[in-house]
Amino acid sequence: MSSGAVERYFRLPLAFLLATSLLAMMALVFIDVFGRYFFGAPIRGSYEITQCLMALVVFFGFPLVTEAREHITVGLFQEIGGAGFRRWRRIAIDALSAGVVVFMGLRLWEQGEALARSAQVSGLTNIPIAPFAFFMSVMSFLGAAVFLAQATLRAGARP
């Protein structure tokens, strides 16, 4: 896939949805605080809605952060070995990370199924919780696919 296609079909839609979710969360908090302090009328369930929006922000951002390689890392062993060793170490780390994220996605999917079976909703606003678990699972799988693509591209590249 070309860089332009990645930008058009991956980065831009996710970044737009991330920004929209963040904007909605900021607007909700602003209006809630304004209403609470000036009118004595906070938004009912704003805390729960903020939690749902935070899940969207984090998991829309996860594949983007993965693709940009902007994760927090610990550089304890970065200078050990030659260029070839460091390249294969990065491939192994990407593959291992993909496996861990797939496991996380599977567990989130199972959690979503359990939440759907029990028709679990938030306490005050009655927002169904299962769709958020399924969404987090799908974004985890997308992040794992990015890890695998990066490992594959690095393995095919010349050292």
Measured distance CA(8)–CA(3) in Å, rounded: 9
Mean pLDDT, the chain, integer: 91
Residue 113 has pLDDT above 80, yes or no: yes
* pLDDT band, residue 10 (cuts 50/70/90): confident
For residue 78, the model assigns a pLDDT of 75
How far apart, in whole angstroms, are the C-alpha atoms of residue 34 and residue 70? 35
User: What integer pLDDT is reported at residue 134 of this predicted model?
Assistant: 98
Mean pLDDT of 95-100: 96
Residue 112: both structure tokens together:
């979503």
46-90 pLDDT tens trace: 999 999 999 999 999 999 999 998 988 777 777 777 878 888 888
